[in-house]
Amino acid sequence: MPETALEIVRSNLAEHPAVLAWNRLQRLAVEPSEIVVLKKRIKSTVYRLADAGPGGSAIIAKYCRRPVALHERIVYGELLCKLPVATPHFYGTVPGDEEFDWLFLECLHGEQYSRQSAEHSRLAAEWLGLLHRSSAVIAESLSLPDRGPQHYLRHLQSAHRRLAQALAVCNFRKEESMIVSGAMSQCMWLESHWNELEKYSDRMPRTFVHGDFKPKNALVRRDSHSGAVFTSYDWEMSGWGVPAVDLAHVDIVAYHSVLKELWSGVQVEDLKQLALIGKIFRRLAAFDWESEKFDPRWEIAMEHMNLYKADMAGLIQVLCGSNHASA
């Protein structure tokens, strides 16, 4: 999993919490050659344990909040393992401190998924189509989180509320206030047209969706037997719903070729419209997550919000154009 190292630990490895938890799971005393910190956030930390797995392989240790670990355990242990798609091997979970748990996965190596590569885009679309086609029956029985339009409406409403609060209490400069006001206006416009987005989404089949399908969560591996193999990881945002957000940046024609027999009533143009809605959903989630970072310092979050607002303006313009064309 090609992540940039934030920190490398080479001393007292046997006493590191990730190693202790891994040894509890395996019931073995293994000491890695090094521990690489790949991500470090308030809600989760991800480590790579070098030479700690079977045959000297590397292991990914994710320390995250208990509900997230439980969700990913269900996804890996009860769903993905039954599907004909390539995913990391799931070793299991171990209770951590307080409200956190450990999640252990195979560490994959390969080429970072690039949207600029025609080969990667085709492989991603085919992998995603196979995921959506093969997972629906099993996923429907698992009581997974909702990832339909209502989930993103909640993101919209939360983002609007936070932005309004920030506008009221933060000492924004004029141009910063205009960015926040503009994003709020976009939220209001979208909420006023939400029935149209929801009605279109309701025409599409429900299935298991990744929810955070993007280059940093996927890679392409190559071997002499299978050739190029696409795989994705980080299933924290996965759930049950229409596959709109997953389609935001894939080759729609290649995706349709995998699903056209099963979803016979869905045409390429339908999927392109769903992908547009998916991009809007993703930006609403970004609005919500970024607005949470406004207090107490908002400079970096404001830069991101300005980019998201500009992107959203373009998406709304395309949406209006497509609605006029279909009217």
Query: Are 137 and 158 in the same domain?
Result: yes
Q: Is the pLDDT of residue 156 over 80?
A: yes
Tell me if 21 sits within 8 A of 94, measured CB to CB. yes
Regarding whether 152 and 45 lie in a shared domain, the answer is: no
Answer for the pair 114, 120: CB distance below 8 angstroms, yes or no.
yes
CB atoms within 10 A of CB 184: 21
35 sits in which H/E element: strand 34-40
* Model pLDDT, residue 280: 97
Overall pTM > 0.85: yes
Same domain, 225 and 142: yes
Of 57, 83, 109, at which residue does a domain stop? 109
Q: For residue 55, tell me if it sits in a domain.
A: yes
Residue 2 included in any domain: no
* Owning domain of residue 25: 7-109
Q: Write down how long the chain is.
A: 327
Confidence (pLDDT) at 325: 46
SS3 state at 265:
coil
Number of domains in the chain: 2
Number of other residues whose CB lies within 10 A of the CB of residue 242:
25
Same domain, yes or no: 91 and 138: no
Whether the predicted pLDDT of 296 surpasses 90: no
- What pLDDT, in 10s, does the model give residues 57-95? 999 999 999 999 999 999 999 999 999 999 999 999 999
Map residue 238 onto helix, strand or coil.
Answer: coil
Q: Strand ranges (DSSP E) for the chain?
A: 7-9, 34-40, 44-50, 59-65, 90-95, 100-106, 111-112, 207-209, 218-223, 227-232, 239-241
CATH number of domain containing 193: 3.90.1200.10
Q: Is 52 in the same domain as 179? A: no
CATH number at residue 48: 3.30.200.20
Say whether pLDDT at 2 is over 60: no
Residues 270 and 154 in one domain: yes
How much is the pLDDT for 324?
52
Predicted confidence (pLDDT) per residue in 239-256, tens digit: 999 999 999 888 999 999
Final residue in a domain of this structure, among 53, 88, 109: 109
Over the chain, what is the mean pLDDT? 93
What CA–CA distance (Å, rounded) separates 100 from 253?
A: 41
Query: Apex CA 39: angle with CA 8 and CA 305, to 5°?
Result: 140
